[in-house]
Amino acid sequence: VSAGEEAVFLGRQGSEEITADEIAEKAETINYEIVTRMSTRLPRFYING
């Protein structure tokens, strides 16, 4: 990913989707920890949410 490009960490883009459960499984933790540990400095954009 280059500067200025869109990157989706959690959610849906087109036909692709990644959930907190999927990220948690890869990180060997629970989905709650993924969601609550995202920094407040991380911009969030809620679209049709």
Q: What are 13-43's pLDDT values in tens digits?
A: 899 999 999 999 999 999 999 989 888 777 7
5 pLDDT band, cuts 50/70/90, is confident
Residue 11 β-bridge partners:
18
For residue 17, what pLDDT is reported? Answer: 96
49 against 42, higher pLDDT: 42
Nearest to 33 by CA among 17, 20, 18: 20
Give mean pLDDT, residues 5-15.
87
Q: Is 36 exposed, middle or buried (0-12, 13-18, 19+ CB in 10 A)?
A: exposed
Going through 1-49 in order, the beta strands assigned E by DSSP cover 11-13, 16-18
For residue 49, what pLDDT is reported? Answer: 60
For residue 27, what pLDDT is reported? Answer: 96
